[in-house]
Amino acid sequence: MTAPADLFARLDEGFASRCGDFDLQRAAWVELAGEYPPFLERYREAAGPLPSGIVARRSGDLGLSMLWIVQATIIRALLADLRSAGDADKIAALLDMLEHDRIASLAHSEDAANPVTVERSESNEACVSGTKKYITGGYLCDLVILTMRLAGEQKVSRAAVIPAYIIPDDAFEELHLAALRSMSHTRLTLRKFLIPESDLFAIEGADLRRAIKRWGIVERALIMEAFIAFCMYMGEALPAGAIPNHALDDLQSLLTAQSATTKSAYDQARAGERVDERSADLASVLALAGAIRDAHKKTGDANNEGLAARLQDLDLFSHLRA
């Protein structure tokens, strides 16, 4: 896959400005999605990393890369998968509406103390309350795919697509993460929010959960691929000799293997099969990321605004666990 070199140069140069600026984040997404539409099927035969890995490798923007991953996997691929589980016409219409640069966010990760529940009202509306704790692209999204459960249920069993503009402004809360600062990530809290019952998908809860799990594994494989590619970007930004000579070669080997793993996971998910959760050795990847981070601190690059923001992304997995 090739793209104009000036695209990556612009994304690289504008990284620091995008941190916290939602308008610039959206503009960057529109430009990236125009060059690399987030439809995995288009890249099945491509060699090497998928577009999310390419943008991490060539522009050093892991936040933008994460948005591409979400749009391609747990939005578009997930919806395409769910067509066979029910509501085929409704989902097909939704996919047609999701042009390449429209942003949909999956609101699925829950606050265990306040899960999102739905109750039926007397007016043929569903009353939704609860908190989703982590939404990639939160303030940029055009649509929210919201998962929920009936009161008293232990597992998610329902889903609906909600236009973002009808959600109260104060329902979104920017998380201000230490990492991934070039992309909005929000919490979503709904309080007796009403949606038409007809907007709920007629899909069995078990089918919904299986599809989310399947494409969630592909999402994680792509995140690992993008993270390794990002480490290569950061490693190459160091002066010669700042890290062992073999470090970049080791990362390239890990990236090649992870790209193959990612494509295999996609093929399995696409076929509706059990998806192999194998991935690159996390300990090896984190050791290399840590060495690169420490080298940047020693060389004084932490004083460079763009690199300082990116240094936090080298600790991505620690931040996500927190």
Selecting from 2.60.40.420, 1.10.10.10, 2.40.110.10, 3.20.20.70, what CATH number does the domain 103-204 have?
Answer: 2.40.110.10
> Nearest Cα to 147, choosing from 13, 15, 133, 137?
133
CA distance to 53, 153, 216, 298, per residue, from 275 (Å): 20, 27, 10, 41
**Interval 70-110: pLDDT, tens:** 999 999 999 998 887 777 888 888 888 888 899 999 999 99
Share of the chain above pLDDT 70, in %: 98
Separate counts of helices (H) and strands (E) for the chain: 12, 7
CA-CA-CA-CA torsion sign (290, 292, 297, 302): negative
Domain range annotation of the chain: 103-204
The amino acid present at 170, given as its one-letter code, is: D
The pTM (predicted TM-score) of the whole model is: 0.94
Overall average pLDDT of the 111-122 stretch: 87
**Interval 276-311: pLDDT, tens:** 998 999 999 999 999 999 999 888 766 677 888 899
